[in-house]
């Protein structure tokens, strides 16, 4: 219990519970004002926030004129590039002074650096099932009383009986 502060009785706003951790995470990336990270859509507007997000704030040697680095997907980067002067003005308004002198855009793939997942494609179904296969599938599901179950069993039997290795012999 050493080092923990006593909380007030009752409920606390969630922002107060995580505020210190957000501040520490923001400062580790160079953000002196955590509001830029937590309220990015409010600062720059929802249309720009959908295209890019802030990832780093780096300061020059003299401490004046920081560089804000934004992360954007490849196709959206030119759109973000068009709005850089407006983004800079809005971020400086958030800070209350000309804290940011330059904004850069880093492009990345929409799904990160990993290869995108290959979509699963089902094998093409045969266009027409032979009448003898349909008849055999119907006989296999003949004794089932439930119509839904019977049709599902018939479809399964048709798939099994129409496999190429079954048709050979």
Is the residue at 163 inside a domain? yes
CATH of the domain at 68: 3.30.300
Is the residue at 152 inside a domain? yes
Is the residue at 123 inside a domain? no
62 and 138, same domain (yes or no): no
Are 73 and 109 in contact by the 8 Å Cβ rule? The answer is yes
Is the residue at 99 inside a domain? yes
Is the residue at 14 inside a domain? no
- Please give the helix or strand (H or E) that residue 51 lies within, else none: none
Tens-digit pLDDT string for the chain (169 aa): 455 565 566 666 666 665 666 555 545 554 556 677 778 888 899 999 989 988 888 877 766 678 888 999 888 899 999 999 999 999 888 877 788 888 999 988 655 545 555 565 656 655 566 888 888 888 988 888 999 999 999 988 888 888 776 555 5
- Domain holding 145, by residue range, is 131-167
Phi and psi angles of residue 67, each rounded to the nearest 5 degrees, phi first: -115, 120
pTM over 0.85? The answer is no
98 and 42, same domain (yes or no): yes
26 and 95, same domain (yes or no): yes
What is the tally of structural domains in the chain?
2
Residue 81 contacts by C-beta under 8 Å, 6 or more apart in sequence? 105
34 and 68, same domain (yes or no): yes
Is the residue at 161 inside a domain? yes
Q: Which residues pair with 103 in a beta bridge?
A: 68
């Amino acid at each position: 219990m050493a080092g923990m502060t006593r909380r007030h009785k009752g409920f606390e706003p969630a922002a107060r519970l995580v505020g210190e951790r957000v501040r520490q995470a923001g400062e580790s990336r160079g953000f002196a004002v955590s509001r830029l990270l937590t309220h990015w859509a409010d600062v720059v507007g929802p249309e720009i926030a959908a295209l890019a997000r802030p990832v780093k704030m780096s300061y020059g040697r003299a401490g004046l004129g920081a560089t804000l680095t934004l992360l954007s997907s490849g196709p959206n980067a030119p759109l973000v590039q068009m709005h850089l002067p407006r983004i800079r003005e809005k971020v400086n308004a958030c800070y209350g002074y000309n804290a940011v002198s330059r904004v850069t855009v880093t492009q990345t793939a929409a799904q990160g650096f990993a290869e995108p997942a290959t979509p699963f494609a089902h094998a093409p179904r045969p266009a027409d099932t032979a009448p003898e296969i349909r008849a055999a599938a119907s006989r296999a599901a003949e004794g089932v009383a439930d119509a839904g179950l019977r049709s599902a069993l018939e479809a399964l039997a048709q798939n099994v009986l129409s496999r190429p290795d079954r048709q050979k012999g």
